[in-house]
Structure 1
Amino acid sequence: MSKIPIKTLAYAGAPERLHNDAVDILKLKYGLEAEISSDRPRILYFLTGGSEAEATRLLEQKRFQLLVASGKTNALASAMEVKAYSKQHGFRNVLLCLDDDADKQLLEKYISVFSALDRLQGKRLGLIGEVSAWLVASSIDADILKDKLDIELVMIPWKDAGDYRKFGAGKDFMECYHAGRQYNIEDAGRVNSMLKKVIEDHDLDAITVECFSLVQENSVTACLGLSFLNDLGIPAGCEGDLCSITALMIAKELTGKLPWMANVVGINANEVLFAHCTAPTSMLSEYHVNTHFETGKGTAVHGRIKARDVSVFRLNNTLDKVFHAHGEVVDGIYEKNACRTQLHVEFDEDIIRELKNDPLGNHHLVLPGNHMEVLYILANILGH
């Protein structure tokens, strides 16, 4: 875990020992590896009263920070004054009191999310082709990716990706998808090998592919190839959707798992139908190969998600809003006029209203289980 930059705050003239002891206490009591820094600290640690003015000089408009204090030596009083000042002037932060057990646990979770985001620094994200034309809300400016998460966007034209027909299909890929004679998965395997070579050649940590041009020109899809990459632990998304692939990368660091990227294809009073033609097979209780829904060509993953409950989330294209919701998986009728892998999820009414009235886009990320606490913290940090 990387060290978190922290600034200890006390009255003017306070002994240096007071500051050093505070960092040692954080490590001993809370396992927090911190380094004292006046350069963009993520945590402002109030040790005494009389520290308000210095704290206000360290607040940042575009960066989330934690205000941490105990109830001793007027530290909490000082932090509360700064919290009020923050609200008046539009600074984003959360105040945690170290005398409260719940806040202690919350501090540990914030540190965990900070560390997860730090692990994204320097990662390289490849986009083969362009963001698909219909994803009008799902393109992220390269400068925003760099500024917010320190992820480098690598643009790779299709002409530089190579000819998939010159690649062989890997044995491990062919063994993963049992298609019999009905579907020719060898071309899908060649696409997977091509994508692996692009990842290797460009030193990529994640990839998203403008895949419809591939199926339109060659009648072959990337659905199985992307599924296989995700099973290998490499975040891989389709349609060139930069919001979704960024969320995939974040989810991997937050939870150690890669979610399912899916369309919202139906909403009623309390239920949402998600569907897509690719999914990591590790998330499926059963699956088989089918054709790609929209084109009827190539191959797709037709499976059943193994989950009783799921966490669903989505980023906006400026990376300062996060939709997140927890729902129960329910039985539903298979929709023939939708992508092959489908999931019915029941949500509270307020979530349904938000999805309909204030969506951040179409594609959402689906994680089995309840990850709402870390997603809530992520939303706070990014700016929701």
Structure 2
Amino acid sequence: MSLGIFYIKSPNKNNDPDFDESALAFLKEVSKTMGEELFIADEQAFAVQHTHIFFVASGGSEQQFVKSFNMIEGPYYLLTRRTHNSLAAAMEILAFLQESGKKGEIIHGDTGSIGRKLAQIVKINTVKDRLKGYRLGSTDESTWLIASNADPVVLKTASGMDMVHISMDELLSEVAKNTYVDNQFTEEIKRKGYDSTETKRALGVYGAVRRLVDRYELNGITIRCFDILQPACISGCLALAILNAEGIHAACEGDNRSLISMTVLSELTGQPVFMANPGRLYPEQQEMVFAHCVLPLNMPDRYQLTTHFESGLGISIAAELPLDACTVFKCRENFKEYFAQNGQIIENLHEGCMCRTQIRIRLPEQISYFTTRPIANHHMICMGDHKALIDAFFTSYE
């Protein structure tokens, strides 16, 4: 992959005969750490990119920037090097941008840190650009989720994502067909040897939701899964587990904010996401237990099939996750309020009094958020430490 930058410099190149050669050598070193080739782009190619990096190669380049900066709307990333008064010129340019009401940032340091920073910027802008075209389906939230509904207008304004309403009648009509198309995950489920009748019915729910995803061209969906239990006596857990493994963001209980949070976290990190209930707090130890009956099939070390916790019906997932670093996350649809913290999974539990997949997480920073200002009930968990990336992502919306 490659990314074009806009190259600005003093007209006399600081009277350095090796000016361009040293500038290109600098870009080559940055590219190595970044994992993406940086090349000098013309105005037309530069303007259509989602990330706009101006390489301020020297002092005396300020007027060149003034003549060219209006070709984009920003934000403006000012790449600098440690020679030729590059940083000084970038500081003058940044002040000019700020006085003009524009957003900008100077990227400075050794080539390794610059490459890592630019890689993060490109990842964030790529995700933001991709989200603008996303369509998230919803059958509306379950009745007990009194603080989990998302305002679709706020979501569209903040992120460009659309919420698409789907009626439960349409979903139940599809469930009644009890058909699905096999794939690697349905075959994996059948090899578990669970009750064949229940398995077929649970996979029929997967087929129903998958058809809605395809029909409405959705990138994600949340369904009132408990509303399937009563008329059909089957849970939606398996359906959502498979959809998530397929890369379709799928949330329980018609929880719109969880679907939005799941989508953001998965797109940013590239990891499958476990949507879970906070079940228990240990304030002195800075630890919490999270549990739910469904998670992506491609997430756990191992899992077994069992019944849904609250109803005793259908099929749900009892899984074990790696005892490793993780991130806990939730956001609102305004993309201004969010919670993110790195943690460590320290234990897999198997208790009969909670949803089937149960993990104990140590959260060393703080857990008072959960008892003082939580963004509702469900929270998203993925493997790895991603708080810094999440913070940078939401800062970019300010």
- Aligned residue for 1:342, secondary structure, equals strand
Does residue 378 of the first structure (1) align with residue 388 of the second (2)?
no
Partner in structure 1 of residue 178 of structure 2: 167
Q: Distance in 1 between matches of 2:188 and 2:295?
A: 17
2:288 maps to amino acid: V
Shift of 1:169: 4.8
1:185 aligned counterpart, secondary structure: helix
Q: 1:354 is matched with which residue: 354, 360, 369?
A: 369
Counterpart of 1:271 (choices 256, 269, 287) is 287
Deviation at 1:235, TM superposition (A): 1.7
In the alignment, structure 1 residue 138 sits paired with structure 2 residue 152: no
2:321 alignment counterpart: 305
Q: How far 1:318 moved relative to its partner?
A: 1.0
Structure 1: how far apart are the matches of 2:49 and 2:245? 39
Matching residue of 1:215: 229
Deviations 1:179-224 (A, max 9, x none): 6349823221111111111112122222221222222333221111
2:204 maps to: 190
Q: Distance in 2 between the 1:67 and 1:342 partners?
A: 46
SS of structure 1 residue aligned to 2:314: coil
Structure 2 residue ranges without an equivalent (≥5): 14-19, 32-36
What residue identity is the alignment partner of 1:238? C
Verify: 1:176 aligned to 2:189, yes or no: yes
- Which amino acid is the alignment partner of residue 219 of structure 1? C
- Where does residue 68 of structure 1 map in the other structure? 79
Residue number among 117, 142, 158 corresponding to 1:106 in the alignment: 117
* Structure-2 separation of matches of 1:185 and 1:310: 31
Question: Which runs of 5 or more structure 1 residues have no equivalent in the other structure?
Answer: 15-19
Structure 2: distance between partners of 1:112 and 1:81: 27
CA distance in 2, matches of 1:135, 1:359: 13
Q: Which residue of 1 aligns with 2:381?
A: 366
Residue 157 in structure 1 maps to residue 190 in structure 2 = no
CA–CA separation in structure 2 for the residues paired with 1:233 and 1:366 = 16
1:122 maps to 133
Amino acid at match of 1:369: G
**Structure 1 SS opposite 2:343:** strand
Q: Percent identity?
A: 26
Partner Cα separation in structure 2 for residue 11 and residue 148 of structure 1: 39
Say whether residues 1:289 and 2:296 are aligned partners: no
For residues 101 and 287 of structure 1, do their structure 2 counterparts lie closer, same or farther at Cα, with a shift above 3 Å needed?
closer
Letter in 1 for 2:310: E
1:145-190 per-residue CA deviation (whole Å, 9 max, x = no partner) reads 3333332322111223333121325555265153634982322111
Q: Which segment drifts farther, 274-283 or 113-122? A: 113-122
- State the Cα distance separating 1:225 from its structure 2 match: 0.6
In structure 2, give the amino acid aligned to 1:248: M
- Is 186-195 or 28-37 further displaced after alignment? 28-37
TM-score w.r.t. length of structure 1: 0.80
Is the contact made by 1:188 and 1:225 (CA closer than 8 Å) also made in structure 2?
yes
Q: Distance in 2 between matches of 1:38 and 1:233?
A: 28
